A and B are shown apart, each in its own frame.
Chain A
Amino acid sequence: MPIMNNVYRQRAAEKPLVTLDDYRAAGGYTALPKALADVEPDDLQYVFMRSGLRGRGGAGFPMGKKASFLPKDSKKAKYVVCNADESEPGTFKDRDIMAFNPFQLLEGITLAGYAIGAERGYIYIRGEYEHQARVLDDAVRQARAAGLLGEGILKSTLNFDITVYRGAGAYICGEETALLESLEGKRGQPRLKPPFPAVAGLYQSPTLINNVETLAALPPIVENGADWYAALGPEKSPGSKVFSISGHVMRPGNYEIVLGETTLRELIFVHAGGLRPGRRVKAVWVGGSSVPVLGEGHLDTPLDYESIQAAGSALGSGGCIVMDDSGCIVRASLRLATFYRHESCGKCSPCREGTTWLEKLLMRMIAGEARMEDLEMMETLFGRISGKTLCPLAEGAVAPIKSALNMFRDDFVRVVENGSPRPEPMMAGA
């Protein structure tokens, strides 16, 4: 069971709120009636903006600002798209929000739809989350039957419905324009931006795309007010965030914390129960795998967007992967290179070929077949991939590996000289 405190709090902490009655008993569906009765759509957008809520999918863009980019005078249909393609290595927070608190997400999407004047929302969920998709399907059915979705919601003039759309196994579909392509029934390959989805998104119509965690934060914001949310945590990174923590820790899981109040050390050693006895932190990928790696020297960094950035990494999705000193940084880097090589959609050559080269170079290193020049070749390669692609996937491949080479160069040199045998993993029950 996830540990949810603040925004996704008790509502989901005790038991899964998968029936409408349970969600209502936990205080759910109070925000939507309040908004429909008292708040004009434009004012609701302003509430989102004043709350300071930033996108929880990875990029951290202010949610209210994103909503304000949709043209007000467009005659086209508008859409809300919820990005539930959670596939970033180490990230499993949206999974629990959907499985344990599906109605809070539906209520959030409906609030977003009302604010921008949309009549339909889509939840694009990764195909591997079939279980969560069925929970959502069932929640949508219950909400429709209760007049919380459909025509004239709660006897107002709002018409809004939600469709759960399943992906079929492609990391790239978490990139917003690739997601839209996939939702339009095509191969999930990113589009050239601009135009941005706010102007020409799904079916070339104005579209608001937000992550599950972002949209699920809207009901409590509307209920308690923008000021309440903005007062949680530091000024530039307000609110709470769910961190998924995994790897070499004793209690992997989801932990919701107020941003800025908890350090990386506390997340690892207090919430996640620390490491095995006698082990030390070697490397931490704090925001999913697509961010620069941090080391033991960064553990006292507070977890908020600005502090993590100042430490040289990014908060990203909040998928925190911890490796202790039993692990090999070159092997870990290779595993990530393999991930990006496999998930590259193939549209841009620097990404398609570059991730393949990265993987080959790292394979050669751990096999003990590399030459010292290969380290320089890898550095040259970073420059030939970075900034030369349509979407950030390639950047995500370079960031953890380039930073690992910078921070742990001695380890790379040793592996080039001697190779790297497979270390003992931390097995279940260990």
Chain B
Amino acid sequence: MTADEIRAYLEPRRHEFADPRSLVMPALKYAQTTRGHLSREDLDAVAEATGFTPSFVESVASFYDRLYTQPVGNRVVSVCITLSCMLRGSDEVWDHLCEKEGIDHHHGGTSADGRITIQEAQCLGYCDKAPCIQVDADETLGPFTPDSAAALVDELRAAPDPEEYWR
């Protein structure tokens, strides 16, 4: 994404903050919407649009789980594994999805075709729907069984990619 596009996105929001530094996070989230992650060029564009140094911008990007500084799959599937979900079978869902997609059980990762990233999530706040799964930043869904989670991934693989990647 270019610095001009980011500037255009930030302009109507600028007056809401006494310090322009507050625009860095909205800028990063927006810059991520084209590729689904933040490339070196995206980080530099955010730096240029906000007026802060690339190293500062990267220090912010690297802190937050939902800002990706490495490429990820077309769809990011976050499987909540925190206590309430564990008690309702999230480990079984996790294992099944990793096996199905040929992904390392310990760290998660991206399928060989680059379509699907499976990652562990800490409590997503949908414990009443445990075990729950969030795709990108769509509304979290649940409860899942290993089979229904696999069906969700199949649907995602078959569906067209979103126009913007909000993660």
Q: Would you give the 0/1 interface string for B127-154, flagging 1 where the beta carbon is closer than 8 Å to chain A?
A: 1111100100111100111001000000
Taking the complex as formed, is A87 at the interface, i.e. its CB lies under 8 A from any CB of chain B?
A: yes
How far is it, in angstroms, between the C-alpha of A254 and the C-alpha of B121 when the chains are bound?
22
Give the A-B pair count, Cβ closer than 8 A: 167
Which of the segments B1-9, B79-87, B107-115 contacts the partner chain? B79-87
Given the known A-B contacts A131-B139, A168-B65, are A321 and B22 also in contact in the complex, defined by CB atoms under 8 Å? no
Taking the complex as formed, is A145 at the interface, i.e. its CB lies under 8 A from any CB of chain B?
A: no
How far is it, in angstroms, between the C-alpha of A254 and the C-alpha of B13 when the chains are bound?
34
Does A89 contact B18, Cβ atoms closer than 8 Å? Answer: no
- Shortest beta-carbon distance, B17 to chain A, in Å? 8
Given the known A-B contacts A246-B128, A335-B83, are A427 and B145 also in contact in the complex, defined by CB atoms under 8 Å? yes
Does B127 contact A252, Cβ atoms closer than 8 Å? Answer: yes
How far is it, in angstroms, between the C-alpha of A91 and the C-alpha of B63 when the chains are bound?
23
Does B24 contact A185, Cβ atoms closer than 8 Å? Answer: yes
Does A427 contact B16, Cβ atoms closer than 8 Å? Answer: no
Contact residue among A170, A203, A245 (Cβ-Cβ distance under 8 Å from B19): A203
Chain B: interface residue total (CB-CB under 8 A): 53
- Shortest beta-carbon distance, A285 to chain B, in Å? 7
How far is it, in angstroms, between the C-alpha of A86 and the C-alpha of B29 when the chains are bound?
19
How far is it, in angstroms, between the C-alpha of A247 and the C-alpha of B82 when the chains are bound?
11
How far is it, in angstroms, between the C-alpha of A304 and the C-alpha of B13 when the chains are bound?
42
Taking the complex as formed, is B28 at the interface, i.e. its CB lies under 8 A from any CB of chain A?
A: yes
Taking the complex as formed, is A225 at the interface, i.e. its CB lies under 8 A from any CB of chain B?
A: no
Given the known A-B contacts A130-B138, A163-B16, are A168 and B83 also in contact in the complex, defined by CB atoms under 8 Å? no
- Shortest beta-carbon distance, B6 to chain A, in Å? 14
Taking the complex as formed, is A120 at the interface, i.e. its CB lies under 8 A from any CB of chain B?
A: yes
Taking the complex as formed, is A114 at the interface, i.e. its CB lies under 8 A from any CB of chain B?
A: no
Closest to B56 in A: A186
Taking the complex as formed, is A229 at the interface, i.e. its CB lies under 8 A from any CB of chain B?
A: no
Taking the complex as formed, is B157 at the interface, i.e. its CB lies under 8 A from any CB of chain A?
A: no
How far is it, in angstroms, between the C-alpha of A245 and the C-alpha of B91 when the chains are bound?
20
Residues of A within 8 A of B144 (CB): 428
How far is it, in angstroms, between the C-alpha of A287 and the C-alpha of B155 when the chains are bound?
37
How far is it, in angstroms, between the C-alpha of A12 and the C-alpha of B88 when the chains are bound?
28
Taking the complex as formed, is A23 at the interface, i.e. its CB lies under 8 A from any CB of chain B?
A: no
How far is it, in angstroms, between the C-alpha of A327 and the C-alpha of B88 when the chains are bound?
10
Residues of B within 8 A of A247 (CB): 83-84, 87-88, 127, 130
Taking the complex as formed, is A66 at the interface, i.e. its CB lies under 8 A from any CB of chain B?
A: no
Closest to B16 in A: A163
Residues of B within 8 A of A186 (CB): 21, 24, 60
How far is it, in angstroms, between the C-alpha of A129 and the C-alpha of B90 when the chains are bound?
20
Residues of B within 8 A of A342 (CB): 122
Contact residue among B59, B134, B139 (Cβ-Cβ distance under 8 Å from A187): B59
Given the known A-B contacts A90-B123, A335-B83, are A168 and B66 also in contact in the complex, defined by CB atoms under 8 Å? yes
Q: Which residues of A contact B (CB under 8 A)?
A: 77, 86-92, 95, 120, 126-131, 161, 163, 165-171, 182-188, 203, 205, 244-248, 252-254, 285, 289, 319, 321, 323, 327, 331-332, 335-336, 339, 342-343, 345, 422, 425-429
